[in-house]
Amino acid sequence: MFSSIRARLTGFYLLLLLALFTLLGILLFFSLHRIVYRSIDAGLLVQARALAASIEPGGHDENLNFSDEVMQEYGSPHSGHFFQIRNAEGLTLKKSSSMNDVDFPIPKAGSIQRYMTVLLKGKPVRFVNFYFSPESETGAQKPVIIIQCGQVIDRELDLLHGFTAVLAGSVFLFLCVSGLAGIVLARKALEPVNTMSRTIDLISEMNLSERIDASSDPEELKRIAESFNRTLERLEKSFERQKHFVADASHELRTPLAVILAHSDVMLRKKHTVAEYEEAVTAIRDAAAMMSAIVEKLLTLARMTSDRTELKFEQVALDDIIRQGVKLLSPLAEEKAVGVELFIPESVTVRGDREALMELFVNLIDNSIKYNVAGGHVKISFRQENGYAVIEILDTGIGIASEEIEAVFDRFYRVDKARGGKAVGLGLSISREIARLHQGRIELRSKTGSGTVALIYLPLQSL
Ligand SMILES: Nc1ncnc2c1ncn2[C@@H]1O[C@H](COP(=O)(O)OP(=O)(O)O)[C@@H](O)[C@H]1O
Ligand SMILES: [Mg+2]
């Protein structure tokens, strides 16, 4: 029930108000209670003193005489005023006729309770025990007598009860009104949350470009909206990339497939010479090899970019791995008459996955040979920089125009599309992914016509 912010806010607010109001009510009630009783008690004391003053000094204990006026005041049982005079032992010496056959309780010996409330004939009566020692004619003190003077207080009690009822009623009314106000306020304050959640609900992969407009929302919600918008932005970009990637991959595979279909159709239409068949089959085989290379690279890329990439990290000797790569590519280098020189110290190791690093270096050395000029050079060297192993692959090839330096890392991007052959345009994308998985990076520096430098940064310790 209290799972929503609104219910919690309102509940908390109401509890707080209830506590405050109750406290205030109790305080008010007791203050009034005190004021009322004080004024009654003061009146009673005045009456008791008046009675004491009117006791004639000459009288005996048995015949305390009061003026007619006094006796009249306390005469009728309906007057609501009573007195009873006792000696120190508690024996009644005299009492007003309003008392009839009832008595005030005898004060306990040594008791200090002066004012008390009792029920006389079903009515609440407040009385005072006034201790008094009258003077004799000679001026000597006579033994103490107790003047008990009382008064019906039902009207005062009615007033207190009435006040309590009004107080409780007002507290209840206040709570109801505040509760309603709280609910309305909380609903109003949280309305933007509902609007936001409705907008979010409407966003699907079809409209990832939609954004939450929180410009008029409170600061807290604005922050949530902003981070959600950033997430959307990332999602949208990655979704776009994915879409392009699928489109590009299909497009790349379509060319060799078209070649295969065309050759097969021509061959099947009529009989051909053996030489013609050989030519067609060779073309088909080349196209299939091309497709195979593309699919192979796509699989590697998918493996490298998936979150569950399982790389086996171990200490890998850089010079060993690069030497192997160069050896693998030596037929290509020989074919293009490109000389490859290696300057890597034997002792350097990095922590990484052997196969993945091999793929990275083969891709980059392959580029430096493939995009070199006939009779050109490749120089591979090593240096250490800020905790990184930096492998530099320098070629004297055709170079890359500065505006294309970033683009060549894109999937399927080739500067010279018409070139065909084995160029798929996935090598650098894969290499960059591998470097990233090793917490490293690849940089390209190049100038058209004079060659390219590829810099591979791999952390020396860590991982
Ligand atoms: N060393 C280099 N010199 C000149 N151009 C290069 C070099 N390396 C890469 N490129 C350009 O970048 C493109 C992308 O390279 P890459 O991703 O390895 O794909 P691929 O090698 O299949 O062409 C290449 O097609 C080429 O145009
Ligand atoms: Mg390449």
Number of Cβ within 10 Å of residue 83's Cβ equals: 26
Same domain for 31 and 71, yes or no, is yes
pLDDT, residue 402, reads: 92
Nearest CA to ligand 1 atom 8: 367
**Residue 3 one-letter amino acid:** S
Same domain for 416 and 447, yes or no, is yes
Q: Name the domain boundary from 162, 181, 200.
A: 162
Q: Assess whether the C-beta atom of 394 lies below 6 angstroms from ligand 1.
A: no
The answer to whether 148 and 90 are in contact (CB under 8 A) is no
Q: Assess whether the C-beta atom of 376 lies below 6 angstroms from ligand 1.
A: no
Same domain for 231 and 88, yes or no, is no
- Report yes or no on 206 lying in a domain: no
Which ligand sits closest to the CA of 449? 1
Same domain for 148 and 61, yes or no, is yes
Same domain for 355 and 394, yes or no, is yes
Nearest CA to ligand 1 atom 15: 425
pLDDT, residue 3, reads: 76
pLDDT in tens, 198-252: 888 888 877 888 888 888 888 888 898 899 999 999 989 888 888 888 888 898 8
Distance 413 CA to ligand 1 centre (A): 8
What predicted TM-score, i.e. pTM, was given to this entire model? 0.59
Ligand 1 atom closest to residue 415's alpha carbon, by position in its atom list:
27
- Report yes or no on 211 lying in a domain: no
Same domain for 39 and 108, yes or no, is yes
Q: How confident is the model at residue 1 (pLDDT cuts 50, 70, 90)?
A: low
Same domain for 329 and 442, yes or no, is yes
Residue 72 belongs to domain spanning: 5-162
Residue 153 and residue 128: Cα distance in Å, rounded? 13
The answer to whether 93 and 52 are in contact (CB under 8 A) is no
Same domain for 235 and 362, yes or no, is no
Compute the half-sphere exposure of residue 270: CA atoms within 13 Å on the CB side of its CA. Answer: 2
Same domain for 295 and 318, yes or no, is no
Nearest CA to ligand 1 atom 7: 367
Looking at 191-195, 313-317, 390-394, which range is the least confident one? Answer: 191-195
Q: Assess whether the C-beta atom of 423 lies below 6 angstroms from ligand 1.
A: yes
Residues by chain with Cβ below 5 Å of ion ligand 2: 367, 427
Distance 371 CA to ligand 1 centre (A): 7
Same domain for 254 and 120, yes or no, is no
Q: Assess whether the C-beta atom of 453 lies below 6 angstroms from ligand 1.
A: no
Domain count, the chain: 3
- Which comes out higher in pLDDT, residue 235 or 61? 235
CATH number at residue 279: 1.10.287.130
Question: What would the mean pLDDT of 74-94 be, rounded to a whole number?
Answer: 84
Question: What would the mean pLDDT of 249-275 be, rounded to a whole number?
Answer: 92
- Report yes or no on 31 lying in a domain: yes
Ligand 1 atom closest to residue 297's alpha carbon, by position in its atom list:
22
Q: Assess whether the C-beta atom of 397 lies below 6 angstroms from ligand 1.
A: yes
What is the SS3 string spanning the chain? CCCCHHHHHHHHHHHHHHHHHHHHHHHHHHHHHHHHHHHHHHHHHHHHHHHHHCCCCCCCCCCCCCCHHHHHHCCCHHHCEEEEEEECCCCEEEECHHHCCCCCCCCCCCCCCCEEEEEECCEEEEEEEEEECCECCCCCECCCEEEEEEEECHHHHHHHHHHHHHHHHHHHHHHHHHHHHHHHHHHHHHHHHHHHHHHHHHCCHHHCCCCCCCCCCCHHHHHHHHHHHHHHHHHHHHHHHHHHHHHHHHHHHHHHHHHHHHHHHHHHHCCCCHHHHHHHHHHHHHHHHHHHHHHHHHHHHHHHHCCCCCCCCEEEEHHHHHHHHHHHCHHHHHHHCCEEEEECCCCCEEEECHHHHHHHHHHHHHHHHHCCCCCCEEEEEEEEECCEEEEEEEECCCCCCHHHCCHHHCCCCCCCHHHCCCCCCCHHHHHHHHHHHCCCEEEEEEECCCEEEEEEEEECCCC
Same domain for 322 and 297, yes or no, is no
CATH number at residue 362: 3.30.565.10
The torsion angles phi and psi of 346, rounded to 5 degrees, stand at -70, -30
Among the ranges 8-17, 189-198, 268-277, which has the highest mean pLDDT value?
268-277
pLDDT in tens, 327-374: 999 999 999 999 999 999 988 899 999 999 999 999 999 999 999 999
Same domain for 238 and 287, yes or no, is yes
Average pLDDT of every residue of the chain: 87
| Close Cβ partners of 399 (under 8 Å, ≥ 6 residues apart) | 446, 447, 448, 449, 450, 451, 452
Contacts of residues 54-61 at CB distance under 8 Å and 24 or more positions apart, as own/partner, are: 55/134, 57/134, 57/135, 57/136, 57/137, 58/137, 61/87, 61/93, 61/145
Distance 414 CA to ligand 1 centre (A): 6
- Residue (of 156, 184, 127, 174) closest to 36 by Cα position: 156
The pLDDT of residue 463 is above 70: no
